[in-house]
Structure 1
Amino acid sequence: MVTWTLLVLGMVLKYTGVTEWGVRGGGLVHGVVFLGYAAVTVLVAWNQRWRPLTTLLGLLSAVVPWAAWPHDRLLLRRGLLDGGWRRERGEGRLEGLRLAVLDHPVRSMVVVVVLVAVATAVLLWLGPPTGWAERFG
């Protein structure tokens, strides 16, 4: 919610002719936090065995300004955030990966940070969505 607020304030400053720096700085911070939020949402959904629709709604809640807060409240009310990290091996081909992530939290965090940094760099290289047609069209 904080980064959405920074981005929206930056857009107000940009489109009122004050400065573009709010969008550049707020947009970058928001983008990085958005990617991190998506990664954490997927990991928590995997651990808590959410239905695919619940996971999708969690990811979409980050796209709509300020929607993550009511979505998180809904998850709390429904008990979908209860309990700790599952340590038992469940069914599925990726359960070994989930347990490896839990067994090596620092290493896993470094991997997520690197992936977010790479994704951010690629997205910065691509530029804003409005310029994709000129770049790739």
Structure 2
Amino acid sequence: MTNATPVAPVRLGTLEPVTTPTKLFRTVAIAEAITWTGLLIGMFLKYGTETTEVGVRIFGMLHGVVFVAYVVTTVVVWVDRRWSAGRGLLALVAAVPPLATLPLEWWAIRKGWLGDSWRLPSGATRSLPDRVVGWLLVNPLRGLCMGLVAVGALTALALAVGPPTS
């Protein structure tokens, strides 16, 4: 006989699939750092050893998509946790220097910036940012789809503008 703990089913349209602010922010911050690492290795191979451009092609696109996902995640957490403008801008700027999202994420956890539960929608106010983030948290699958559309649209816009060197 096993002593298996029953697992509650995940109900669509509830907060269960969304996870916590800490887990979501940590996951995206680490992914952003990993793609930065891949891009840096690709740039070394392209410009340092002049052997291949494959790493830049793959990780350049991947990093761009994850960068946009990090920005969207940061804004959602910023609104939900009621970060100050300085804290929110610091979190956004951390995506620019290579691997800076890692120390920022560690610092944010140490200082209690993230939390283990979402404030919204239960604490939603009438402000537009609160209502939008509250809706995203109550409708996680729709929010994920909208997030993917937003990331795709921003990535397409960046591709249309072209790389910084062209």
TM-score higher than 0.5: yes
Query: Is 1:96 the equivalent of 2:131?
Result: yes
Shift of 1:93: 3.4
Stretch deviating more after TM superposition (98-107 or 25-34): 98-107
What residue in structure 1 maps to residue 88 of structure 2? Answer: 55
Any gaps of 5 or more consecutive residues in structure 1? 132-137
Shift of 1:73: 1.0
Aligned residues: 131
Query: Is 1:68 the equivalent of 2:109?
Result: no
CA RMSD of superposed structures (Å) = 1.2
Query: Is 1:105 the equivalent of 2:140?
Result: yes
Shift of 1:91: 5.0
Whose helix fraction is larger, Structure 1's or Structure 2's?
1
Query: Is 1:33 the equivalent of 2:66?
Result: yes
Shift of 1:44: 0.5
Sequence identity (%): 40
What residue in structure 2 maps to residue 46 of structure 1? Answer: 79
TM-score calculated relative to the size of structure 2: 0.75
Provide the secondary structure at the position in 2 that maps to 1:130.
coil
* CA deviation map 1:11-46 (0-9, x unaligned): 011012101111111100111011001100110111
Provide the secondary structure at the position in 2 that maps to 1:129.
coil
Q: Which runs of 4+ in 1 moved over 3 A?
A: none
Query: Is 1:13 the equivalent of 2:48?
Result: no
Amino acid at match of 1:24: R
CA distance in 2, matches of 1:98, 1:26: 30
Higher relative contact order, chain-length normalized (CA < 8 Å, sep 6+): 2
Provide the secondary structure at the position in 1 that maps to 2:131.
helix
State which of 26, 35, 45 in structure 2 corresponds to 1:3: 35
TM-score calculated relative to the size of structure 1: 0.90
Query: Is 1:83 the equivalent of 2:116?
Result: yes
